[in-house]
A and B are shown apart, each in its own frame.
Chain A
Amino acid sequence: MASFLDRSRTVAGPGYSRWLIPPAALAVHLSIGQVYATSVYKSSLVETFGASLTSIGVIFSIAIVMLGLSAAVLGKWVDHGGPRKAMFTAACFWAAGFFVAAIGISTTQLWLVYLGYGVLGGIGLGIGYISPVSTLIKWFPDRPGLATGMAIMGFGGGALIASPLSNQLLRAYDSSYDGTAGSVASGSAVAQLFVTLGVIYLVAMMYGAFTIRVAPPDYAPPGWDPSTRKQSSMVTTASVSANNAVRTPQFWLLWVLLFCNVTAGIGILEQAAPMIQDFFRDGGTTAISAVAAGGFVGLLSLGNMAGRFVWSSTSDVIGRKRIYMVYLGVGAVLYVLLALVGQTATALFVLLALVILSFYGGGFATMPAYLRDLFGTFEVGAIHGRVLTAWSAAGVAGPLIVNGFLDARGTPGELVAADYRPALLTMVVLLVIGFVANLLIKPVAERFHEPSDAAAPAPAAAR
């Protein structure tokens, strides 16, 4: 069994269709994207455990922190062990997380949910998130942004699937639950949901693990001339190891820009539903109903997902540095507009938030291709894993900034647009810092490059 998972058993021949790889990657990312659909059963867990919303929110926080840590620590293992072994491991951890958490819910032991969904599931998230990235980049040397955009779009799409599916399953497992606001599913229904999701995701991720293939050495797609790849000094043909990458200023500048982009996006995502209601509150009543606010959250999810594919693919044409100038520069301008004139019209508010969230998604999806451009494909998965610690940090900083400002301005349900300005303008400052960090990125110095015989060679000839 172990040999079947080995990298050497997954190397494809020259005639293998590279379009079989994205579905394998998507199967994993669509599964682990469930982590953004936890709000469906949050109230049920609060009631089951008699715990505070904060205590339940910790489950998600642990998972995101473990995502960053496991991606950073296990990145090199993922790169060298190969995608099949990594996806198989990710599937086991992610499914085990659901099963252990289900036991925790059934026996009302919250620590088991922390251990299961938070720790075990978080490790599955980290390994699963980075496992297909370097493989896709090597299959699509001509369009790395498109390739990683496809997979990481799946992470956004995972929540779109898990949210309505979980609602339907909870209604099936608890006849008194109708899925409307105020209705809360029983703990046993949530435990059954976790077992069901664990089984579904185990099967889906195993499909990905068993169909993924590594590109043959020196692979180049038909009709693509690798010599055209180095059109810019920002795209290297050299290789930089993960250990060397973290010694370069480029790595830390990328870390800063990802942190700033994600923190700014989370600022809106975390508060989306109450935010739109508060922006259009007049004299104690809001023009936006709770149902409409839910629709706004759905629209943002679509923007987040679409941005991952559209903007990352666009980066193949205009370049990685320029696309991040758009995410961070135009994003800062849109944030200023949102803060100052967002309350003047609902359509304007929705449009601004939608584009901002598409930039948030684009920032995630373009990062692996930016890393490939600067550090080469040698250990791009491991380097990506280490950069993702910025996501973990932003996952803590974003909500802290927004909630800190809003707590100081008043009580939830009574806030108005002006109360959001300090938080939104802080996000503008962060985006400007990220913009400057991006401007400072230059090609990696030669002293960090691997000797040519130590790293995997760059594509040499089209087949």
Chain B
Amino acid sequence: MSAGPNNDDWVWVANPDHYILHEIGDSTFAFSRVSGTTHMLNLVSRAMLDYLAEHPKTLTQIIAGFAAYLEVPPEECPSGVVRRLFGELDEVGLVERVEP
């Protein structure tokens, strides 16, 4: 499923038309209109989804900017975690590759 998004020419976005979100406490339930599956996101994965819904980004940009978006120091948001989190969203189809 995952496209292995390591080509820096590729840009990624979360398209809010393709999912429905519903919050229950700190959790967010996301229903994917594309796959018909329901996913449960925590505060961090929800933030990543919102971050990617703002405008398309390359993975390098995502890694570079996500800590600031979360308002945490970069050392608390290591690139490996960001990369894997992005991979999880990609895996379930909540983020999409778009033309630059």
Q: Do A and B bind each other?
A: no
Chain A residues packing against B (C-beta within 8 Å) = none
Chain B residues packing against A (C-beta within 8 Å) = none
